[in-house]
Structure 1
């Protein structure tokens, strides 16, 4: 497949490849087959080319190609590219990956592209992440009476809507911490009352010691670390771990190297994550005193896209 990847005129050939896909979609051909070819091809190019070649392809070929406007009829893809909140991966975008939209006020082509993307492994991992966090909340409430929980970069806190413990009031306090006031407004509407407490703040405020939440039973951040440098991730992990009570648990997550969606996200949505392997995720805990660690657990989700690390405080 795509034997021209290593040729000297690879960028020119890549433009021709996009021409073929554009023609196939424009004439109402086999949309699923065309999107499969696009998705698989972008995965291959992203893995095969060095960063400079890949970036040139995204900026010089994809951004100027008429195929981009066709793909951007998909509301999820367009939202990711436009970044109306001013940053990538906002909570509205993530909501597109949860309950599949049936009426999105867009063209039929846009809906069809969206439904194709919704079924890819990356969105499946995002939905699985929500369920895993809801299960963690429920299990915590079984172990600890009225536990205190902190969600960092909470977004719309959709996992809480899937938690029996939250619905039944068996969580003592759930602090929903996020930089985006619009996301926190959604959280407040979804969870009136005192159980869920929205708090506005940034990672920087935690790093500077301006935001701290002591005596936590569970702290988690499942969609943030993909954007952090190694040094910031390690420092943040140490500070979050320090907020735990003895026996408390910190859960962090990061999308893994070779996640197949990466090529499409970067080329058509201008959405870049920092993909890591297990050793790199384990390094998040490098600033924690080993004597404070009772246990370190690492695992991947069912489709092998997301690496989870759970640290238990002694």
Structure 2
């Protein structure tokens, strides 16, 4: 696996995007090694896209939890999954969950019964780690996602309390058909990894203007080319939009600077994920 990751990373850097994509779609998909690699349930799930889109919440749950002891999982599949579960990007995803839970708690310390919005929330697993959610110190936590299966899982985990599920698409937000107001904290954990530059900047403006004065927007994006990028694209058909610090800062282009009380950029401890934090004046 080390040699495979290293080789794919080398090829990805060596070839232009068209040549690399052709290699992934033609050479990798017909190579006998693919059947071996796809014994890993995490890798196979990403490739097959059972919910119809990349990076679904079930896939992310493979990174949050250890599924290595699932019944019927063969030795090779289990060992490949264990390897992937311990990769830097996987550790970044788990750290992201912990960071978001801490932000939920910090918002409850800053504001009495705050209103919070999670955009493209997935299974909202960070809420399961939040003491503010557990102790009912949030006024409302809106879980917004286009996937009804995600919202059904959230409703199962949080049948009562401050969590409210809303089914809707980011497209509806961009078209002005869906909006929220007077939020104290708005965040999006994995969405921006799939958004083109113009769309991401426009959405950032819309989310920022959902904040009340003193409110905070936090968005995350994987940095340019984590070590597993070649494997993800070749064997998982999982293609992200990577951004560096200057590209993340450019997401504020449609926001009037006079409305910004604070702009912060920081990376996680693994150096894989960049966070953009905006506070409204």
TM-score, normalised to structure 1, is 0.88
Which segments of 5 or more consecutive residues in structure 1 lack a partner in the other structure? 1-34
The structure 2 residue matched to 1:152, chosen from 119, 129, 139, is 119
CA distance in 1, matches of 2:183, 2:128: 21
Is the contact between residue 68 and residue 81 of structure 2 (CA under 8 Å) also seen in structure 1?
Answer: no
Local SS of the residue matching 1:226: helix
Bigger relative contact order, structure 1 or 2 (CA pairs below 8 A, ≥6 apart): 2
**Number of positions where the alignment pairs a residue of Structure 1 with one of Structure 2:** 280
Which residue of 2 is the match for residue 84 of structure 1? 50
d(CA) in 1 for partners of 2:98 and 2:255?
28
Deviation (angstroms), 1:194? 4.0
TM-superposition CA deviations, 1:171-218 (whole Å, max 9, x none): 110000000000100000011114100000000111111111100000
**Counterpart Cα distance in 2 of 1:236 and 1:172:** 24
Shift of 1:246: 0.2
Q: Deviation above 3 Å: which 4+ runs of structure 1?
A: none
Question: Considering only CA atoms, is the larger Rg found in Structure 1 or Structure 2?
Answer: 1
Matches of 1:194 and 1:213, distance apart in 2: 19
Which residue of structure 2 lines up, in the alignment, with residue 64 of structure 1? 30
More displaced 10-residue stretch of structure 1: 188-197 or 240-249: 188-197
Please report how far the alpha carbon of residue 57 of structure 1 lies from its aligned counterpart in structure 2 after TM superposition: 1.4
Structure 1 residue 258: deviation in Å?
2.3
What's 1:109 paired with?
A: 76
Q: 1:218 and 1:42 mapped to 2: Cα distance?
A: 39
**Contact 1:141–1:147 (CA under 8 A) maintained in structure 2:** yes
Q: Determine the structure 2 residue equivalent to 1:9.
A: none
Task: Return the alpha-carbon distance in structure 1 between the equivalents of residues 67 and 268 of structure 2.
Answer: 24
Match of 1:292 in 2: 259
Look up the match of 2:270. Answer: 303
Q: How big is the alpha-carbon RMSD for the aligned residues of Structure 1 and Structure 2?
A: 0.8
Shift of residue 56 of structure 1? 1.9
Of residues 115, 119, 130, the one that matches 2:86 is 119
Q: Corresponding residue for 1:12?
A: none
Aligned to 1:164: 131
Q: Shift in Å at residue 288 of structure 1?
A: 0.4
Alignment match of 1:42 (pick from 8, 29, 33): 8
Paired residue secondary structure (1:197): strand
Larger deviation: 36-45 or 85-94?
36-45
Corresponding residue for residue 8 of structure 1 = none
The residue correspondences of 1:228-267 to structure 2 (distance < 5 A) are: 228-267=195-234
- Once residues 134 and 161 of structure 2 are traced to their aligned partners in structure 1, the CA distance between those partners, rounded to angstroms, is 13
Give a deviation string over 1:243-295, Cα, whole Å, max 9, x none.
00100000001101021111100000000001111111111111001110000
Q: Does the 8 Å CA contact 1:216/1:248 hold for their aligned counterparts?
A: yes
Contact 1:215-1:245 at 8 Å conserved across structures: yes
The answer on 1:227 being equivalent to 2:155 is no
- Whole-Å separation in 2 of the counterparts to 1:169 and 1:48: 52
Asked whether the equivalents of residues 156 and 184 of structure 1 are also in contact (C-alpha less than 8 Å), the reply is yes
Q: CA deviation at 1:102?
A: 3.3
Which residue matches 1:175? 142
1:96 aligns with 2:58: no
- Give yes or no for contact 1:47–1:258 (8 Å, CA) kept in 2: no
1:65-93 Cα offsets, whole Å, 9 max, x none, are: 00000000000000000000000000000
Q: Distance in 2 between matches of 1:100 and 1:47?
A: 31
